Amino acid sequence: MTTTNSMISRVLRPEFLLVALFAAMFGAYTLRHDTRSAAAEATPSRVGTIDLEKTFNSIERYTAAQAKIKTLAEDLEKQVKTADAKVRDLQSELDSFQAGSDAQAAAIAKLQAAVGELRAIQQYVGAKREVEAARALRDTYLAIKDAARRFAEKEGYDYIMLDDSVPEMDPANAQKTMAQISARRFIFASNKRDVTMQLVGMMNEEWKAGKGG
């Protein structure tokens, strides 16, 4: 009886009670943490896919950018035509000058300057078109990327991925075809995962709102 009372007395001592309490708290925390980890591992990631080319061609933002590039190209082409017409006029005038005369020499100098100006304008126009086309692609891609993030957060998706199994491959030759195959990451993607038109709809609604309706 004395031994039993001694054991009870030791167990009830403050230091033993603290140790027991700590052990109980640690056990409860570990169990809760393990339960949460198991639940997280049991929940599969939610994945959506988009057809990037279709997205580009369906959003009004990119259509508007393409329209601006077309207008710019038409204005630049007018400059080319004006410079080309000047060259043609100077070429026609050469026949009216006496061979070897100072007037002919001056006309040739003007023609050479006009040809140089025409080539410079043509190079500028080509470069300007490329720059604007590249900027439209880059800005639109960044807009799609940001919209995809916001769409995923709103709809509860963990990943929005590009479905590169959609575009057809160009069977140019064996080497290029293999390069196209190697560059792809998707062999198959279910249409059930495709959220292209939902994303397009969201972006077009935001575009209209930003444009004032």
Query: With bands split at pLDDT 50, 70 and 90, how would you rate the model's confidence at 9?
Result: low
End-to-end, the C-alpha distance of the chain in Å comes to 90
Answer with the residue of higher pLDDT: 212 or 171: 171
User: Measuring CA to CA, which residue among 55, 6, 46, 42 is closest to residue 202?
Assistant: 55
Residues 120-177: tens digit of each pLDDT:
999 999 999 999 999 999 999 999 999 999 999 999 999 999 988 877 777 778 888 8
Query: How do strand 47-50 and strand 159-162 relate by DSSP bridges?
Result: parallel
Q: Which range has the worst mean pLDDT, 9-18, 57-66, 150-159, 190-199?
A: 9-18
pLDDT value, residue 98: 82
Q: Which range has the worst mean pLDDT, 17-26, 55-64, 106-115?
A: 17-26
Residue pair 170/176 in contact (Cβ under 8 Å)? The answer is: yes
Where are the chain's structural domains? Answer: 2-42, 47-210
pLDDT value, residue 1: 52
Residue pair 165/181 in contact (Cβ under 8 Å)? The answer is: no
Answer with the residue of higher pLDDT: 20 or 164: 164
Residue pair 61/207 in contact (Cβ under 8 Å)? The answer is: yes
Q: Which run of H or E residues covers position 161?
A: strand 159-162
Is residue 19 scored above 80 in pLDDT? no
Is residue 22 scored above 80 in pLDDT? no
Q: Which DSSP state fits 194? A: B
Average pLDDT rounded to a whole number, residues 180-185: 81
CA distance 119 to 172: 34
Q: At what angle do helices 196-210 and 60-93 cross, to 10 degrees?
A: 70
Q: Which range has the worst mean pLDDT, 16-20, 24-28, 81-85?
A: 16-20
pLDDT value, residue 181: 82
Query: With bands split at pLDDT 50, 70 and 90, how would you rate the model's confidence at 21?
Result: very low
Residue pair 206/147 in contact (Cβ under 8 Å)? The answer is: yes
pLDDT value, residue 213: 44
pLDDT value, residue 102: 84
C-alpha distances in angstroms, 7 versus 1, 3, 13, 14, 18? Answer: 10, 6, 10, 14, 16
Residues 55-105: tens digit of each pLDDT:
999 999 999 999 999 999 999 999 999 999 999 988 888 878 888 888 888
CA distance 68 to 74: 10
Is residue 17 scored above 60 in pLDDT? no
Average pLDDT rounded to a whole number, residues 38-46: 69
